[in-house]
Amino acid sequence: MAFTLPDLPYSYDALAPYMSRETLEYHHDKHHKAYVDNGNKLLAGTEWEGKPLEEIVKGSFGKNPGLFNNAGQHYNHIHFWKWMKPNGGGSKIPGDLEKKIIADLGSVEKMKEDFAQAGVTQFGSGWCWLAVKDGKIAIMKSANGESPLVQGASPILGCDVWEHSYYIDYRNRRPDYLKAFVDHLVNWDYVAEMYEKAAK
């Protein structure tokens, strides 16, 4: 199946003032669309044509860098839009996930700090993550279009720290963007949904 650009699950104004309409227009309509369009061109005629996206991402890693970069970013962005919602963030984490975070990472507050710190310290373009690895929730980070999928883990929350994700609203203040993401944007219900799937 060819890649298709999903609609945002909310309006372009819905995440303001933490993420503006202008950022979402560029990020979704131009950047994500380019990953979809380029990915489709690079997918055509390869052994991965018609395969599920996760299989394409894992299979092309280290073998077909052009396809991997676009397929990886397509995967990351599909979930990124759903990892946010208006009036998100805060401490309303569904019970099972909250317990697991406390057991594996110490506390919700520590998890938030460590997650943001992973994003701040990712050198250059990339992502920071919460992922399930070997049955535990871990903080991870990755470069460019990579994700925990190619690090032997299952992503359950990711924040895009490419400059295209924050430069319009925050200029060079990546730490402020990460704090706003954690405090005001994260859709913990969707994180819990991915955690339930990853934990199976």
Which positions from 107 through 126 interact with Fe ion, judged by CB under 5 A? none
Provide the minimum distance between the beta carbon of 127 and Fe ion in the complex, in angstroms, as a whole number: 9
Residue window 143-162: x/- pattern of binding to Fe ion, with contact defined by CB under 5 A: -----------------x-x
Is residue 169 part of the contact set for Fe ion (CB under 5 A)?
no
Name every residue whose Cβ is closer than 8 Å to that of residue 71 and which is 6 or more positions away in sequence: 3, 35, 39, 43, 48, 53, 56, 57, 60, 145
Residue 129, beta-bridge partner list: 140, 158
Provide the minimum distance between the beta carbon of 48 and Fe ion in the complex, in angstroms, as a whole number: 22
Instruction: Give per-residue burial for 30-51: e unless 16+ CB within 10 Å, then b.
Output: ebbeebbebbbebbeeeebeeb
Report the residue number, 60 or 76, with the smaller CB distance to Fe ion.
76
Provide the minimum distance between the beta carbon of 72 and Fe ion in the complex, in angstroms, as a whole number: 11
Which positions from 13 through 72 interact with Fe ion, judged by CB under 5 A? none
Token pair in block for residue 124 = 């250059």
**Angle made by CA atoms 18, 21, 2, in degrees to the nearest 5:** 110
Report the residue number, 160 or 169, with the smaller CB distance to Fe ion.
160
Interacting residues with Fe ion (CB under 5 A): 160, 162, 165
